[in-house]
Amino acid sequence: MKIAVIQGPNLNMLGVREQNIYGPMSLEQIHEQMKASASQNGVELEFFQSNLEGEIVDKIQECLGEVDGIIINPAAYTHTSIAIKDALAAVNLPTVEVHISNIYKREEFRQKSITAGSSTGVISGFGPFGYHMALIALTQILNEVKAIQEAQKKQQQA
């Protein structure tokens, strides 16, 4: 099982920027924790971060046929990017959207997620632990998809 973890703008500044909102952990520390959990469960992770919308769209498109699912924190693009929403819809992979802060307790413009409409689910407000939650959720979703596919194969062979 392979999962792409796609990080949006300014997440490379975690641990430095607005620690009162995002906490003291760096993106590298979050990724290291995710790797430890993933390796225990036989999951391979691929990490990508960009501050550029087009690069994020390109990465999502590259996921088609290469990974089983996506964990994405579109960051500020959550609230503005139809292009990222459309790319997620186009590849049609199980996707969990993650937000470190609770976007629903923040400024009004941050309370709407355009990209959530193309995601399987959204985790918001649990700090860096939200990535761990997303990994568990996506692994479960992918295991369910695999079980359904195997059952369908057995029915076709019968």
Strand-pair category, 121-124 with 69-73: unpaired
| Nearest of 124, 63, 51 to residue 94 by alpha carbon | 63
Q: According to the annotation, is 79 in a ligand binding site?
A: yes
Catalytic residues: 22, 99
Q: According to the annotation, is 101 in a ligand binding site?
A: yes
Cβ–Cβ < 8 Å for 35, 45? yes
14 contacts: CB under 8 Å, gap ≥ 6 = 22, 23, 25, 26, 27, 30, 100
Q: According to the annotation, is 106 in a ligand binding site?
A: no
Q: How far apart are CA 142 and CA 73, in angstroms?
A: 19
Angle at 101 between CA 99 and CA 107, to 5 degrees: 110
Cβ–Cβ < 8 Å for 56, 77? yes
**Numbered residues of the known binding site:** 73, 79, 86, 100-101, 110
Binding-site residues for substrate: 73, 79, 86, 100-101, 110
